[in-house]
Amino acid sequence: MPPISRGFGGRPRREVDPSRVPPGQYVVEDFPVLSAGPTPRTPLEQWSLTIDGAVDEARTWTWDQLRELPAKTFTTDIHCVTKWSKLGTTWTGVSLDTLLEEVETEAEYLTVWCDGDYTTNLTIEDVSDGKAWIAYDFDGEPLDPEHGGPARLLVPHLYLWKSAKWIRGISFTPVDEPGFWEAAGYHNHGDPWREQRYWND
Amino acid sequence: MAGAALLERLTVARAPVVWRLARVRAVEEAAEAAVTIVLDVDDWPGHAAGQHVDVRLTAEDGYQAQRSYSIASAPEDPGLALTVERIDDGEVSPYLAGELREGDEFELRGPVGGHFTWRVQDGGPLLLVAGGSGFVPLRAMLRHRAAQGSDVDSRLLVSARGWEHVLYRDELSSFGDVHVHVTLTREQPPGWSGSARRVDAEMLRELGPGPEERPRVFVCGPTAFVERAADLLVELGHHPAAIHAERFGPTGR
C-alpha cells in the first residue's frame, strides 16, 4: 500500500483515452528533447546508412538511395522513459523490413549506431514485421535535427531511447550487447506497457 | 582508494531501482518559485552527483503520478535533496513546490542515469553551464567537489532571467575556489557586475577553460538553452564527446 501524499489530488489537464497511456506515463502536447550530448549535424551528401556486422555482405545506402525506397506515412503513439507520452504522432519513413530484405543474417541481435556515438541494442524480432522504421519526416516536414534528423530509427512499441536519433548504421551481433543506456542501468528491452524502465524492472 | 572508488561505482550502479519511502525533512526556498526538498529515504543506496530520481505521488483515491527530478545534493550531504521549480499549469510541481511540508511522505526510486555524472576521481578541468533550473545537478557536482576537498579547476556559468530566479544564490560563494559567472538575460539589479545577455561564444571563451585543456563539460537547462550552449561549445572546438548534455522542457514542435 503506497503512502498517501497528503493534499495531492493531481489530475491530467486533459482527458485522454487511458488505454493509450502506459503505466506511469503522462501525455504531453509538445515534443520534449532528450539527448546526451550536442546535436550532430551531418550534411546529407556525407550521410549514409549501413547494415553490417554478422551479415553475409554489408550494405550501404546514401541519402538519395534511402529516399528512393518505398516509404509510408503512419500515425503512432510514442513513449519516453522520462515519463512523457505523445499520442498520434505522424511520421514518414522506410520500414526496416525493406532494408533487411537486402541482407542475409542468422544473427538475432543488433546494435544501432549513430552520429554522436550513441548506441542501442535490439532483437531482430523487435525490428521486423512492420515494427521499426527509418523515419525522416515528422508531421509532413523534414525531421528537426534535435529530434533526430535527418533520420532516426523509430520503434514505437518500445521506450523512445530505442528509437535512436541520427541513425547511421545497424550492426548484427552474435550475442546481445547492451547499448548506451542499457549499460547505464536502463532496461535491456524497454516495453512501456510492462514499465520496463530500469534493469531490474 | 582506487579499489574503493570502483566498488562504490559498482555498488551504486547495481543497487536495485525500487520504490522507497521518502519523508520530508525540510522544505527550503531555492529561488523565486522554486524549493529544495530535503528527504530522508529508507535504505537509500547512495548516488553520484548528476543522477536523478523518479518521484511517485499517490492521491487519496489511489490515483498516481510520476515525474523525474535531478538530485540537488552531493553524495556526502546528509539527506537527499531535490529542487523543484513550480510550473503553474503543471500537475505535480505545484504540489511539490507549494503544498508539500515537513513530515509529508511520498515514494521515490533511483538513483538513475549514468552519463551525466561527475565524481572527483573523474578529474577535470570542469566546465559547468546551467540554464535556469538546469543548475540542480551541477550544484550536486560542486557540493561533491567541495565535500571531497578537491582542487580540480572548475568554472560555472549560470544563466537566469533575473537575480531572483538564480537558484542557490546564497551558496554561490560557498563552493570553494570555483570561478562563477552569472548572466541575467532579462532583468538586472542595480549595480549588476555580471553579464546581461544570452550565453554567447565570447562569454564561454572568457570563462574557459578552452578546448585545449580538454575540460569535462556539463550543460543542463531548457532545450533551447542547451541546444545553443552545446552548439557554441562545439564551434569553440570542444570535442562533442566531452560535452554532456541534459535537456528538459518542451520545444516548439
Q: What is the pLDDT along chain A (201 residues), one digit of tens a residue?
A: 789 998 898 776 667 888 999 999 999 988 888 889 999 999 999 999 999 999 999 999 999 999 999 999 999 999 999 999 999 999 999 999 999 999 999 999 999 999 999 999 999 999 999 999 999 999 999 999 999 999 999 999 999 999 999 999 999 999 999 999 999 999 999 999 999 999 999
Length of chain B in terms of residues written:
253
d(CA A5, CA B52): 20
DSSP annotation string for B178-201: -EEEEEESS---TT--SB-S---H
pTM: 0.93
3-state SS assignment for residue B236:
helix
Beta strands A109-114 and B80-85 are: unpaired
Distances (CA, A) of A184 to A36, A101, A155, B61, B82: 12, 32, 20, 35, 22
Can you list the residues of chain B whose pLDDT is less than 50? 1-3, 5-12, 251-253
Asked if B243 and A37 come within 8 Å (Cβ–Cβ), the reply is: yes
Write out the CATH class of domain A22-30+44-194: alpha beta
Distances (CA, A) of B218 to A84, A137, B64: 24, 31, 33
Amino acid at B192: W
Burial string for A2-14 (b: 16+ CB within 10 Å, else e) reads eebbeebebeeee
In chain A, the N- to C-terminal Cα span, in Å, equals 19
Chosen from B87, B93, B106, B129 to mutate, greatest number of chain A CBs within 10 A: B106
Domains in chain B, start-ordered, CATH in brackets? 2-112 (2.40.30.10), 120-248 (3.40.50.80)
- Grid look-up 550475442 returns A175
Asked if B91 and A12 come within 8 Å (Cβ–Cβ), the reply is: yes
Task: Give contacts of A 24-83 with B, CB under 8 A.
Answer: 24-26, 28, 30-40, 82-83
Chosen from B19, B42, B60 to mutate, greatest number of chain A CBs within 10 A: B60
Confidence at residue B215, expressed as pLDDT on a 0 to 100 scale: 98
Please answer whether residues A192 and A25 qualify as being in contact, where contact means their C-beta atoms are separated by less than 8 angstroms.
yes
Please answer whether residues B34 and B167 qualify as being in contact, where contact means their C-beta atoms are separated by less than 8 angstroms.
yes
Q: What ipTM does this complex have?
A: 0.91
Question: Burial, B29: exposed, middle or buried (Cβ in 10 Å; 0-12, 13-18, 19+)?
Answer: exposed
Contacting residues of B for A83, CB less than 8 Å apart: 54, 66-68
Beta strands A84-95 and A72-79 are: antiparallel
Contacting residues of A for B227, CB less than 8 Å apart: 33, 39, 146
Asked if B104 and A199 come within 8 Å (Cβ–Cβ), the reply is: no
Asked if B230 and A200 come within 8 Å (Cβ–Cβ), the reply is: no
Beta strands A84-95 and A109-114 are: unpaired
3-state SS assignment for residue B62:
coil
Confidence at residue B11, expressed as pLDDT on a 0 to 100 scale: 47
Please answer whether residues B37 and B84 qualify as being in contact, where contact means their C-beta atoms are separated by less than 8 angstroms.
yes
d(CA B143, CA B154): 12
Instruction: Give tens-digit pLDDT for B48-97.
Output: 999 999 999 999 999 999 999 999 999 999 999 999 999 888 889 999 99
Please answer whether residues A168 and A148 qualify as being in contact, where contact means their C-beta atoms are separated by less than 8 angstroms.
no
d(CA A125, CA A86): 24
Cβ contacts below 8 Å, chain A against chain B, sum to 137
- Grid look-up 503520478 returns B65
* H helix or E strand, kind and range, residue A49: strand A48-53
- Dihedral angle computed from the Cα positions of residues A127, A128, A129 and A132, in that order, rounded to the nearest 10 degrees: 30
A14 touches chain B (CB under 8 A): no
Nearest CA to CA, how far is A7 from chain B (Å)? 7
